[in-house]
Amino acid sequence: MGFDINKIRGDFPILNREVKPGIPLVYLDSTATSQKPDIVIRAMDDYYQKNNANIHRGVHTLAEEATAMYEKAREKIARFIHARSAKEVIYTRNTTESINLVAFTWGRQNLREGDVIVLTEMEHHSNLVPWQMLATEKNLKLEFIEVNEDGSLDLEGYQNLLKLNPKLVAFTHMSNVLGTINPAKEMVRQAHAVGAITLIDGAQSVPHFSVDVQNLDADFYAFSAHKMCGPTGIGVLYGKEKLLAAMPPFLGGGDMIKKVQLRTFKPNDLPHKFEAGTPAIAEAVGFGAAVDYLSDIGMDVIARHEQEITEYALSEFAEVEHLKIFGNGTHERGGVLSFELGIVHPHDVAQILDSHGVAVRAGHHCAMPLHEKFHIPATTRASFYLYTEKKDIDRLVVGLHAVNDMFA
pLDDT at 1 over 90: no
Domains of the chain (ranges; CATH) run 5-30+299-406 (3.90.1150.10), 42-295 (3.40.640.10)
Interatomic CA distance for residues 310 and 298, integer angstroms: 18
Q: Is 366 an annotated catalytic residue?
A: yes
In this predicted structure, what is the pLDDT of residue 120?
98
Average pLDDT estimate for 150-160: 96
Tens digit of pLDDT for each residue in 83-113? 999 999 999 999 999 999 999 999 999 999 9
SS3 169: strand
pLDDT at 330 over 70: no
pLDDT at 346 over 60: yes
Tens digit of pLDDT for each residue in 219-258? 999 999 999 999 999 999 999 999 999 999 999 999 999 9
Average pLDDT estimate for 137-156: 97
| Percent of residues, the chain, with pLDDT higher than 70 | 99
Tens digit of pLDDT for each residue in 27-61? 999 999 999 999 999 999 999 999 999 999 889 99
Average pLDDT estimate for 182-206: 98
In this predicted structure, what is the pLDDT of residue 196?
98
- Secondary structure of the chain in the HEC alphabet? CCCCHHHHHHCCHHHHCEEECCEECEECECCCCCCCCHHHHHHHHHHHHHCCCCCCCCCCHHHHHHHHHHHHHHHHHHHHCCCCCHHHEEEECCHHHHHHHHHHHHHHHHCCCCCEEEEECCCCHHHCHHHHHHHHHHCCEEEEECECCCCCECHHHHHHHHCCCCCEEEEECECCCCCEECCHHHHHHHHHHCCCEEEEECCCCCCCCCCCHHHHCCCEEEEECCCCCCCCCCEEEEECHHHHHHCCCCCCCCCCEEEECCCCEEECCCCHHHCCCCCCHHHHHHHHHHHHHHHHHCHHHHHHHHHHHHHHHHHHHCCCCCEEECCCCCCCECCEEEEEECCECHHHHHHHHHHCCEECEEECCCCHHHHHHCCCCCEEEEECCCCCCHHHHHHHHHHHHHHHHHCC
Interatomic CA distance for residues 238 and 198, integer angstroms: 12
Q: Which of 5, 39, 243, 366 is catalytic?
A: 366
Q: What does R_g of the chain's alpha carbons equal in angstroms?
A: 22
